[in-house]
Structure 1
């Protein structure tokens, strides 16, 4: 149900083609991160889920760094929509 609200920003004809877009991938990783975070609040010793969370966080961070270098305007808009912090750059 959350995916449909984000996809509604995308024009109808691009919905089928655009699931590989950086914004869509970051959005889906963010949803998975939020679900895993709430799961880990209940199950503190679930170390396999912690490992999975760290892997997803790394993938999302790499995508955000790529997007910030490629197109800063799209990056700012995306982090504003998803309410996430800006990526630290070296």
Structure 2
């Protein structure tokens, strides 16, 4: 987890380390690490399954955050530069 990231520097991150925002941040950092790993090891299918599970967990957390606190959801997706949820 980079120390100079915007969510790590925010005062709420240190207070609420188990919060939805920090969980999404940690999952996003794992996704970034795994995508870098796949550039070298494209046929690592067991790690691909782990990536899919991480993405599913992050999607569920983002959906929950969207329902409960829309402004935090919008701020977090813009800070982490991740796509927003599709509207059904």
Matched length: 87
TM-score by length of 1: 0.88
* Cα distance in structure 2, aligned partners of 1:61 and 1:75: 12
Q: 1:49 aligns with which of 47, 52, 57?
A: 47
Structure 2 unaligned blocks of 5 or more: none
In structure 2, what is the equivalent of residue 68 of structure 1? 66
Residue 3 to residue 56, structure 1, CA distance change in 2 (3 Å)? farther
- Normalised by the size of structure 2, how large is the TM-score? 0.90
Task: Measure the CA separation in 2 of the matches of 1:54 and 1:78.
Answer: 21
Q: Which runs of 4+ in 1 moved over 4 A?
A: none
Mapping of 1:8-87 within 5 angstroms?
A: 8-11=9-12, 15=14, 17-87=15-85
Deviations 1:47-86 (A, max 9, x none): 0100000000000000000000101100000001000110
Unaligned runs of 5+ in 1: none
User: CA 1:3 to 1:24, structure 2 compared with 1: closer, same or farther past 3 Å?
Assistant: farther
Distance 1:89 1:35 in 2: 28
